Amino acid sequence: MVGAPAGGRSGPGRAGTPGPPVRRILVTGGEGQLGLELRRHAWPAGVEIFAPSRAALDLTDPEAARSIAEGGFAAIVNAAAYTAVDRAESEAAAAFAINAHGAAALADAARAADIPLVHVSTDYVFRGDAAEPYETDAPVDPINVYGASKAAGEAAVLSGPPRAAVVRTSWVVSAHRSNFVKTMLRLGAQRDVVRVVDDQRGAPTLARDLAEALAVIALRMIDDRDAPAGLFHVTNAGSATWRDFADAIFDAARARGAKVPRVEAIATADYPTPARRPAYGVLSTRRVEREHGVAPLPWRERLPALVAEIMETSG
């Protein structure tokens, strides 16, 4: 059993008249920050979102693919992932179980049911030594276990159902769960100085905007069997170092009257972690703009509203 409806809209329109055919979309990872945004997204009438818990749908269970294939879904959006980058260095089997084998199970299910699969991946599949944004056809060369597990998942999806899209993204933040914006606001309230890495560059991405793009791609692939598939990159427009990102977060907090710390720039070498991080992970969004009409919004314009939401909900 893969779960019960969690969000979305369906059913009749005016009294006594049938509504549009129900399109049931399975969202995995529904309790994560992206999954939560997919569940709260304003889907069109006639769409039902099913977001089962991890216990209800264990992607490491060999029976999962059969259960999904028989579930009557119109599409799958895979937002489930093992994202503990540092812990993955010592838990490689766990990372690969979800990010690679779980993705393969969903690919098998999508192939068996002849439905689209939209799979979320990461900039960490790249080495991070580029000087300009990575295009979708750039060779993958991960430098940590997490990136390797996600690259394996991509390969499984792209070799599976004919209607499959792999959507790479980066630096995802939201008002939910743990992420960089929430961490900076918490540390900023506790400290006078916050030290932040300034030699890694990427593209901040609001989970809400990523969910919007995934919805566009998924619905188009449901409605049009010839819709563009394959690899896409989706981020907000613009890039930043982590220090740049922190400065912008505290600027937004200051504008709302919060006490903010001084941000001290440090090098990656000054903040050692078990997993190596790519120094550069900016992704070119040109293909998704061209093929699906998804125009990325500037992260600097979108950030203040997110900071306000977090500050309001945290009291």
Residues taking part in catalysis: 146
Measured distance CA(12)–CA(50) in Å, rounded: 19
Is residue 79 within 8 A of residue 27, CB to CB? The reply is yes
Q: Give the strand pairing for 201-202 and 240-241.
A: antiparallel
Query: Residue 205: in which H helix or E strand, if any?
Result: strand 205-206
C-alpha dist (Å) from residue 265 to 28, 126, 157, 189, 275: 37, 24, 39, 18, 20
SS3 content of the chain, % helix, strand, coil (to 5): 40, 20, 45
The torsion defined by the Cα of 210, 213, 218 and 224, in degrees rounded to 10, comes to -170
* H or E stretch at 183: helix 180-190
For 313, list phi and psi in degrees, rounded to 5. -80, -20
Residue 163 contacts residue 219 (beta carbons within 8 Å): no
CA distance 169 to 179: 14
- 207 burial via Cβ count (<10 Å: 0-12, 13-18, 19+): buried
